[in-house]
A and B are shown apart, each in its own frame.
Chain A
Amino acid sequence: MLRFALTRIVMAIPTLLIVAVSVFVLIRLIPGDPASLMLGDLATPASIADLRARLGLDQSLPTQFGIWFSHLLKGDLGISINSQEPILPLILSRFWVSAQIVLVAVFFASLVAVPAGVIAAWRQDSTLDLGLVGAATLLLSIPTFWLGLLLLLFFGLKLEWLPVVGYVSIGDDPWRGIIYLIMPILTLFLHEIGVILRMARASTLEVLRLDYITHARAKGLSEGAVLWRHAFKNAFGPTWTLIGLVLGNLLGGIAVVETVFTIPGLGRLLVDSIFARDYPVIQGCMLFVAFCYVLVNLVIDLCYPIFDPRVTAQ
């Protein structure tokens, strides 16, 4: 198990290195100069050159990369061009906000969707199955920004139960903080139910067709025992992997929900920085998201042997 874990951790390092180089190069391939964007139509060639020099953009790409990477190795992601803040604390504070939404939404979505998916598979082609698959498809098909706006209009404007704009940190005021997070969490929760339910159903269906399930039934085990003791454990593996992917995806892609609900999270920071061509922050955010992605998948991999001991044996 230790060797398995170490192999996985070592394999993550080149992934992060490739991400670092790709992020650095790709950002610089995007047309649009951050210096001229910051100065707008007030810019003069002298002021643009001056700003480019101060931002280090007048150096060659390898020099820029060398400087950036040497700082990176010391854990220094640099300073934001826009806000002049150190980037790592900025990202961590925003990550905490996004993580609260994503983790809670995915946790509850899994809690609901996994059993629902297993039951749908067990009752394949029944009205219950059709209803669950239909609901999942519907939730999957609604874009999150649209779902968010619908919730905002319904709970915020129509019923006036929840505040429509603003954000209060849970650290500042726990109760109000939770109130402000309900709608963003609900939006992601509803969307992710669709994703996870379909995966849980598909993997359970696959397992239910295997010989050992027929054998278990032939032994006279009850349907409940067959389903939860034998089928579920094996079907949960792929779903568990998917949950890891969902978590990683959401950390990078929560920007839409954060924009609709005015939440100052990591996704919004990334999008705002892209519009402002704030290179250091874009690089920092993407590296951080990649790091989270690798970390989440590492945790998923390390947990995998719990469902399938053959993994460590290999």
Chain B
Amino acid sequence: MNRVLASAFMLAAMAGPAAAQSLTVSVAADVRSINPGVNRDDNTDDFVLQMVEGLAGYDEGGTPGPLLAEKIDVSPDGKTYTFTLRKGVKFHNGAPLTSADVLWSWNRYMDPKTDWRCLTEFDGRNGLKVEAVEAPDANTVTMKLNAPNALFLDALARTDCAMAAVIHKDSVKPDGSFDKPIGTGPFKMGEWKRNEFYTMSAFADYVSPKGDGKIDGYLGSKRPLVKDVKFLIVRDPATVKAGLLSGAIDMGGILNSDVDELRKAPSLNVQVGTNAVRHGLLIQTRDPLLKNVKLRQAIAAAIDYDELVSAASADLAKPNNSPLYPGSSYFGDVEKQGFKYDPAQAKKLLQESGYKGETITILANKRPTAVSFPQAVVAQSMLQAIGIKAEIEVLEWATQLDRYNKGNYQMQAFSFSSRFDPALGFEQFSGNKDKQPRKIWEEPQALALIDKAMVVADKAERQKLFDELHKRYIAEVPMIFTFNGVEPYALSKRVKGFEAWQSKQRMWEVTLAN
């Protein structure tokens, strides 16, 4: 009996660790689809964008630049973009990349039947319209816009649009339905077993934008150096920890609260990246109580940002009150000036506001990966310290999101997804509440400045616009940004070259020692 048991357990142990050069990465959820930019979420984009590429992509700082294009020329009137394709780029099926492929992919995205997530960004419904796409020769593509637009390249590079990825026409079946992504990315589609795992394998003929080994967002060196990668779906953070410690998982995202513990594990390294996600406290500026700017200023002055951020991020993040991500090239001295923690001033402002002890309710959710609840708890105690009666109402995430969309709240501890361009970062929470109740900031002059930043292309001029917007936001306190997202990963010490960036688990330039 013992012999049978021993052999059973030996076989079981063999089933655990991954073979050399095959990397096992834990992810918390399955991908929604493998069709670029269709039925997607962040997790889906992360996987798909290892296999496909677009004409433009983001660099490390979130600025769009040429990816499948070697260069991008803009006409003097700002309405025509000319993309010259890189030479020698191949699809996963061996076919060379030509302008005809770009045209075919674009037409497919613009067909409503494709259900591309970003169709409305380019068909004129949101202002920008691509009026004509042409291929004057096999190596050149031109796109003509209805009007100059400072955000056109950013829209093309957006990860939720799957970079408007250029895929080969064999990616779809003869009946037009999607089959699998045949792209030009460093990895090829492997196997997808729903709710268990999905895999990708190295594309041997991949032509990297820059071959110097230095990664730079989606634009730098992107060599696939491991044979294949298996993304294993593990929902429970405790199981992820056990998998990492046992060696069954080579790397995976971990909870902020697990960082200290896993840093002590001899077989693991821990890496903490940051991203452009913005955490903060939303304020309903049409609330009878909170429409009072003095009260909002009192709230902003009552919060000790160092303490709140330390508590909410397990001491991993630094405060940032700006709607801009600190990695942005527009994040300057003005953006560094945030709200000032000043309890005495907060009490004075509170008195001036005429506050009479009314209850302010802060909505929050308890998702393990969100910082909503800890932020709400710390903010509540700080508001109570200056005499504001604050209560927390914990909701399930979908319900909280519903209340956000309807504008039905006083305050919320909430997070906004990444926006690289500052104009989009401001636009995300600004607008007319009559038309979109989820919008927070509706001050007309601020909206006019944002509209201008959407069109103006000159960097210096845009910087002035963003500085002005930042100052207004600090003065009017339509909401309070507190800090940017942190993303801790634990990695086996055998894994080298991984750099966490914007919640994307880029597997290029990553190696795995035997």
Contact = CB atoms under 8 A, between A and B. Distances in A.
Interface of A: 30-34, 36-37, 40-48, 82-85, 94, 149, 152-153, 156-157, 159-168, 175-176, 179-180, 182, 259-262, 264, 268-269, 272, 275, 277
26 contacts: A32-B398, A36-B401, A36-B402, A36-B405, A41-B404, A41-B428, A45-B435, A45-B436, A83-B33, A84-B39, A94-B195, A149-B238, A152-B239, A161-B12, A163-B16, A164-B16, A164-B243, A164-B246, A166-B232, A175-B11, A180-B15, A182-B12, A259-B235, A262-B233, A262-B234, A262-B236
A37 B11 contact: no
Given A85-B194, A179-B12, A259 B236 contact: yes
A283 to B, nearest CB: 16
B417 interface: yes
A182 B249 CA distance: 20
B197 to A, nearest CB: 8
Contact of A44 (B16, B120, B242, B401): B120
B195 A268 contact: yes
A28 B416 CA distance: 27
B286 interface: no
Contacts of A153: 242
Which of B41, B126, B239, B402 has most A Cβ within 10 Å? B239
Contacts of B160: 42
B513 to A, nearest CB: 21
B151 interface: no
Contacts of A85: 194
Nearest to A50: B120
Interface string B186-221: 000000001111000000000000000000000000
A43 B26 CA distance: 28
B297 to A, nearest CB: 25
A41 B416 contact: yes
Contact of A157 (B246, B398, B436): B246
Given A41-B428, A41-B438, A162-B9, 10 more contacts: A33-B405, A42-B160, A44-B126, A83-B30, A153-B242, A157-B242, A166-B232, A182-B12, A262-B233, A269-B195
Given A33-B405, A161-B13, A40 B246 contact: no
Contacts of B396: 32
A157 B194 CA distance: 27
Contacts of A31: 398-399, 402
B245 interface: yes
Nearest to A180: B15
Contacts of B120: 44, 46-47
Contacts of B129: none
Q: In the A-B complex, list the 5 residue pairs whose CB atoms are closest, starting with the nearest.
A: A32-B398, A264-B195, A165-B243, A161-B9, A179-B12
Given A175-B11, A260-B239, A262-B232, A160 B246 contact: yes
B401 A40 contact: yes
Contacts of A272: 29, 195, 235
Contacts of B196: 166-167, 262, 264
B125 interface: yes
B32 interface: yes
A156 B405 contact: no
B237 to A, nearest CB: 11
Interface residues of B, number: 50
A152 B233 CA distance: 17
Count chain B CB atoms within 10 A of each CB in A32, A36, A261 and give the residue with the most: A32
A34 to B, nearest CB: 8
A260 B238 contact: yes
Given A33-B405, A43-B405, A83-B194, A165 B232 contact: yes
Contacts of B385: none
A285 to B, nearest CB: 13
Contact of B242 (A94, A164, A179): A164
Max chain A CB contacts within 10 Å: which of B126, B194, B405? B405
B491 to A, nearest CB: 16
A239 to B, nearest CB: 30
Contact of B236 (A162, A260, A275, A277): A260
Contact of B239 (A159, A261, A268): A261
B8 interface: yes
Contacts of A42: 160, 417
Contact of B32 (A41, A82, A262): A82
A36 B233 CA distance: 25
A165 B234 CA distance: 8
B248 interface: yes
B455 to A, nearest CB: 20
Contacts of B239: 152, 164-165, 259-262
Interface in B433-489: 435-436, 438
Contacts of A34: 398
A43 B439 CA distance: 11
A220 to B, nearest CB: 41
Contacts of B404: 41
Contacts of A157: 242, 245-246
Nearest to B402: A32
The interface centre, meaning the residue of A152, A165, A262 with most chain B CB atoms within 10 A of its CB, is: A165
A165 B32 contact: no
